[in-house]
Each structure stands twice: as C-alpha cells, then as structure tokens.
Structure 1
C-alpha cells in the first residue's frame, strides 16, 4: 500500500475513516454504512460487489484529503490558523426551551429552525437519537420547528449524516446541513462533484468537535452508572443547563447522571477513533457557520448556555444576521481573540497533527493529504518538548493501536 490511500477500502483498512458516510451516498450500489464494534460507523462492501471503490467517493473522502480552495485563507485573521473567519459572535436561542435543551446556547437548533420557518430552506439534515435504540444515532431530514428543536443536543457517538445526503438531493427546495467538521467538508466536496446535490445544499452549520467516541465508549459510561445498555430508554450527553450532564432514563424509571467531566473527560474521549487524533479541523472550517462552546471564561454549572458562532462565509453572515433580526437568536459580535481563548489547547493539538501525519508516512503508513492547511506552521510554534512528544507519541500509538494491521471489520460483507 502507498502512503496515500487509493480506494475507500484502503482508507478504512488504514484506520483513516471518519465515518461520515458520504462515500455510501456517492456509491450506494457498492457501499453501505454499519456500526463496527470498537471502530465506529464504517462503509462495508455490499456482498455482490467486487473490486475497489474510488472515483467520486474517494475524491470526497475527508479520510483521504482535506483542502481549502485556493485563496480561501488569504488575509484571514489570526494568521489563517483558524480557517476563514469573517466575524465572531456569542449568541443564544431566544426560545428558553431550546436554549435549556441545547448543549450550550441552543444556537444550532435555533438557526436551523429559523432557516425553515423563514423560507430560506425546506428542511434540515441532522442527527438525532434513535427512538428504538437510544445509544445509537440516525440521520433525518426534519421539516418542522418542533422536530428540528427536538433533535437538539450533542451526540458523542458514531453518526453518518453524509450517508443520507440523498434526502437533501431528492427534496423539494434547499436544506440546511448540520454536522461535524468532517461531515461538512465531505458534503462540500460531494456538492461540487454532484451538481444535483449542490443545487439543494443550503446553509451548512458545523459543530466544534474534539473527536467521535465509539459506541463502546457510551456503553462504558452507562455501565459506570450501574445500568445495562439494553435498559436505557433515553440518553442525553449534554443539555438542560450548561455545560450539562450525561443523563439516562431506564425502563424502571431511574435517572442517573454524570457531570460533563465525568462522562467526556473520564471515559468518552478515551474511545475516540484514530482519524480524530490526526484531524486538522476541529472547528468546522468548511462550514458557513461554525458553533461551539465559549470556554474563554469559567462556566458556572447549570448557568444559561451561550454559543460561540464563527461566521466563515457571506452566506453564513446573512443567515446569522437574519436570525438576529427576526429574534430567533440574541447576542452580538465579540473580539476575534475570543476564538483561540475558547479553545486553549487546540493550537497545540493541531500543531501535533503535522508531526503525526509525517511520522506515519515515514513509517510507511498511509496518511491523509492536508493541502493548504496551516498544520506545519502550528507545529513550528510548538515548544521542543511538544515537538518531540508529537513524534514519539505517534510511534507508540502505531504499535499500541496496531495501525500496521487493517482495521478490524465484520467477517461478512453486508447483503
């Protein structure tokens, strides 16, 4: 195998798949998404298909390549280290229920719902918990205010919104697309490759993302609360206050919970997939609007949530200004310096990515191509200890995570 994946199968085998599902949308007769234990959502070959899957599916794959368009970062503030940034806002939903239910200020739900109620879009492609399996996710295209805001809240488990881009392509009118950074980047690429999809993709809203834990991570948290996964009838990772608690409901009426630190900090983050460890984009640089937590100040447990909103395109600016004008959200602009202050460890994390990818290539392992992203410059800014750690740590992970071996997959292909 070369140091650059040549097919979707090679992306998966090399532990580079993010699980976005866009390849399955582009090649529905060859691939189908499934939750692979210990790995995440993965594209599995349909049993009747032989040969490699490449073409458009590989061209859109964020596990193979991420690239800003030429000139996208020219003149960008903050040295271009945080992607295209036109403005920075701190906002919250005016609907108190949405604000309380959302992970921070409920802004993603409020913006998406406003796009539909204002007529700018006819639906929202988003991820929500499965009613029949609350530890798992499903991708839906919601069309009403009630359904859109009912899906509010973080889902720290595998999800593949790109798999259901057919719901966007086949819909009447344009759709808001909500997703993780890799989901939005892949959607952008797929829209360029498929004009019929591009004509239907409206506002894109990306979340800040520190990585996707496997389903087994959620199961571990559930068991730490003294509950078996099959007994869970409802699960929320955050919400009902800021930053919110990991909350369960069981069939016999129990409602145990953990703090955000107890769930994410102590367990979930340890189950993140390898592709997330080498991700250069944690703040949805390819979205129209990117939304995350304003961690630049100390948050009192349970206080009303607020969201940091990064305006990345003129389309995003227009959508945010319309929502502010119509009263769907409240808030206003804040200094751009609040962005790095809200993610104090992210510059070092992204700097380490350059060394991790470089070390993988020197070790003869496939690695993504990150063209036009500032990873090398961020690595140069690291102290010598962090530089050394980013290289030596990767060598240890190559062995510990068995990255020289193909990622485990089910014994059977999907029917």
Structure 2
C-alpha cells in the first residue's frame, strides 16, 4: 500500500509533522510519507493502544497549568522566571548565527565541558543540503556548524529513540517539537530523565520544503546541484546563501525572500497559539530591535523553569547577558502575538476538528478581525499567487517581496507608530547568575 492511498493517523490540518507518533508506536504501525504526514503502514498490527495520539501535539496541548517552579505567568509569554537578552562571547559563533548565537554557544560549551554528551538539533542533511533534518550531535564543532534558523519542517521520528543511548541530552526545537517532547516524556519517564534541558525557539510558522525549492528555482539553481545552503548567512538579518555546482554562490536578502516563504506556510501553523516555546526550559528568539539599532547580534532569552535556570548558571559563562523585560518582547513581536495569541482562535472556530488547548478564547478587536479576513483571503489564494508570480521577472519579484515584507515588519521595528518601543538598549548584566 502506498502512502497516498493509506489511512492517515489524523487529518492533515491537525498534523504538526513532528514525527513523534512513529517511535511512540510499540508495533511499528506508522510511517511518514514524502510530505512527512504519518500514515498506517501496517494497520493490521495496530492494537488501538493510542500511544501515538497521546504524544501528538497536533490534537491537544494543555497550556493551563505551568510547572510548579515557574514564578510568573504572562498572558502572552506564558510562564517564566527571568528575561534577558543574550549573545555568544565567541565572535565566530556570533557571526555565523541568525542573531546572537546564544543557543549554539550553550550547546557547544555543554559538549566541551561534559555537561552534555549529546545534542538533538536540526541541520541541513549532508547528502541533501536542501532538506532539513534532526540529528544527534556529540562533537562541539558539529554543534557550532548546526547554528542558524532552518525555515523548513523537520521531524523527530528517526532520532527520538537515539536519546536512550545517552545520559545527558539537550534538545533544540520549535514549540511543536517541545510540545511533542513533553508528551513523549510523560509516556516514557526514562527518556525525560536523560534530557537535561529543552531549548525552544520562537516560531511564527514553519514552511514546507517546497518553499526552499521555489527560491532555488527562481535563482536558477537546480536542487541536486546544491552543495551548501544557509538561510541567515552574513550581517543581520542575513541572506539565503546557496553554494552550488553550477557556478558562483548566489544569495537573496532575508527581507526579500521572507514574504515569498509565506506562500508555503504549513497549514497547521495557522492553528498554533505558541509563539515563544512556552513549554521549553529556555526559550530563544531574534532580538530584532537590538539588532536593527546596530548594537551587535542579540537573542531574546526567556528562562522558564528551575532546570533551565540551573543549566544557564552552569554554562552561562559562554554568554554575555543583559537585563531585559517582557515588554521588550511583547512590543517587538506585536504583530506575531496578534497573529498567534488572538487571531488564531478565529481560525480555530472555522476549522474542525480543531486542536484542544483548554483555554478561553481571548477578545479580538474589529481591526484584528479585518486583518484576519484579509490574511485568510491571501492564504487561500496561494495557489493562484504562485501561478501569477511564476510569470513575474525575478528582479521585479524580489522588489515586490522586499516591499511586502517591509510592510509586514513595520509593526515591530524601531520607531513604528503601531507599537510602543522600549525606552532604549537594555543594560548589561554580565554573565548568567539566575
């Protein structure tokens, strides 16, 4: 039976494609198809144990009760203990990073000191650098090379069982990966014992791999000729940089290709309400205002749990930290919070079945409803937009995308009239001492 004709585990619009359901099954019933949706490869072997659904973040995530060791609950950020801005003290790591290199610095330092013996993170596959994949890393140099954002879906199906071969593992993931991991740990506590820390990254939505292939086509690069691909190379906010066999490396600025990736936004991301990885131990995001002000490269860092605080205290010498406030993130990410924490509930009303979050629907302004209507019209028109844009000359397409992405970002850039900016740069506090 092929994956196209096989029975899917859950409806496509619910599936985050994290892959956690595959190793959760004790009878190897499930597999992932080419688009990473789980299906019944051996349905006759299914015993209806429902372990696959127990670990599924697409069906339900409980945001109500924060862990007992979290001290503050913020309506947009979730539960947390402290908020910082952070960057790596290693200039080489910082320059290769999407923003401050804080995640990479902690992972590398952890592997070098023995605080960690493995790291579960996303890299571009060595044999196919156009495809993102989770790998288990044990070499600090490999951890450093795995830095930067990957604007593509990646799954845990193959690597999650490998955690059992190690004792001190750090896991880096998007909010949906962290949700799945927490649910998997509840099912298998021994796996949770081996995970030292969960590092979550801010996410407003992830793109289909086809989005990357689309950009390559517009650049005139054959996917099979790609030798290396980076999404955020160079000076902030970076460029999509492609080294290929057909000639000199090519690149597109982040502010040019950003809007084009919305043409390939995964549908499940429309119904997600977690922007800042609320169930992680430590959460990280691009400190756009600090970077736009020319202060160097910085990341937002939210300390959420006692475990996260202890990990930061142990390895924080690899970071430069400065004091920050929740308002810094809320103002900067105003559009994203509106999209995820308010307007997402409007989408949930009209898509059934819907994921269960056990939360009360927040109020949405008339302006928010209008923005949502316009967004959904644009989202549902993506096939038509792709067809039309195929005929647009490349230079014109780049300029159109740059202008559109600029309008999208205007709500959360310094000087915007739509949000309240923090008073200025945050004050340095030196090394971590949570």
TM-score higher than 0.5: yes
Task: Confirm or deny: 8 A CA contact 1:68 1:371 kept in the other structure.
Answer: yes
- Aligned residue for 2:401? none
SS for the counterpart of 1:154 is coil
Residue 341 of structure 1 and its aligned partner are, at CA, apart by 1.9
Deviations 1:280-324 (A, max 9, x none): 0021001001101112356168x7421111111111112223322
Asked if 1:271 corresponds to 2:235, the answer is no
Residue 70 of structure 1 and its aligned partner are, at CA, apart by 2.6
Distance across 2 between alignment mates of 1:34 and 1:116: 34
Asked if 1:167 corresponds to 2:162, the answer is yes
- Aligned residue for 1:348? 338
- Aligned residue for 1:385? 367
SS for the counterpart of 1:217 is helix
Cα pair distance change 1:280/1:53, threshold 3 Å: farther
Distance across 2 between alignment mates of 1:225 and 1:109: 30
Point out 4+ residue stretches in structure 1 off by more than 6 angstroms: 73-76, 395-401
- Aligned residue for 1:369? 356
Task: Confirm or deny: 8 A CA contact 1:359 1:391 kept in the other structure.
Answer: no
SS for the counterpart of 1:367 is coil
Residue correspondences, number: 375
Residue 173 of structure 1 and its aligned partner are, at CA, apart by 1.0
Task: Confirm or deny: 8 A CA contact 1:222 1:228 kept in the other structure.
Answer: yes
Task: Confirm or deny: 8 A CA contact 2:117 2:138 kept in the other structure.
Answer: yes
- Aligned residue for 2:54? 59
Deviations 1:55-104 (A, max 9, x none): 12111111100113635599965743211121111111111111111111
Deviations 1:194-214 (A, max 9, x none): 122122111000111121111
SS for the counterpart of 1:330 is strand
Distance across 1 between alignment mates of 2:66 and 2:225: 52
Gaps of 5+ in 1: 1-7, 402-415
Residue 10 of structure 1 and its aligned partner are, at CA, apart by 4.8
Residue 368 of structure 1 and its aligned partner are, at CA, apart by 0.4
TM-score (norm 1): 0.83
Trace 1:6-405 onto structure 2 (pairs within 5 A). Answer: 9-11=8-10, 13-27=11-25, 29-36=28-35, 41-47=36-42, 49=44, 55-68=50-63, 70-72=65-67, 77=72, 79-161=74-156, 163-168=158-163, 170-265=164-259, 267-297=260-290, 299=292, 304-324=296-316, 327-349=317-339, 350-360=341-351, 365-372=352-359, 376-377=361-362, 380=363, 382-387=364-369, 390=372
- Aligned residue for 2:403? none
- Greater RCO structure (CA 8 Å; 6+ sep): 1
TM-score (norm 2): 0.80
Distance across 1 between alignment mates of 2:73 and 2:288: 18
Distance across 2 between alignment mates of 1:220 and 1:189: 34
Worse-superposed segment, 52-61 or 130-139: 52-61
Deviations 1:261-290 (A, max 9, x none): 11222x112201110011100210010011
Worse-superposed segment, 268-277 or 339-348: 339-348
Cα pair distance change 1:339/1:52, threshold 3 Å: farther
Distance across 2 between alignment mates of 1:227 and 1:398: 28
Gaps of 5+ in 2: 1-6, 384-434
Distance across 1 between alignment mates of 2:369 and 2:107: 40
Cα pair distance change 1:394/1:90, threshold 3 Å: same
Residue 396 of structure 1 and its aligned partner are, at CA, apart by 8.9
SS for the counterpart of 1:155 is coil
Distance across 2 between alignment mates of 1:32 and 1:77: 40
Worse-superposed segment, 385-394 or 335-344: 385-394
Distance across 2 between alignment mates of 1:53 and 1:100: 50
SS for the counterpart of 1:9 is coil
Give the alignment's Cα RMSD to 1 decimal: 2.7
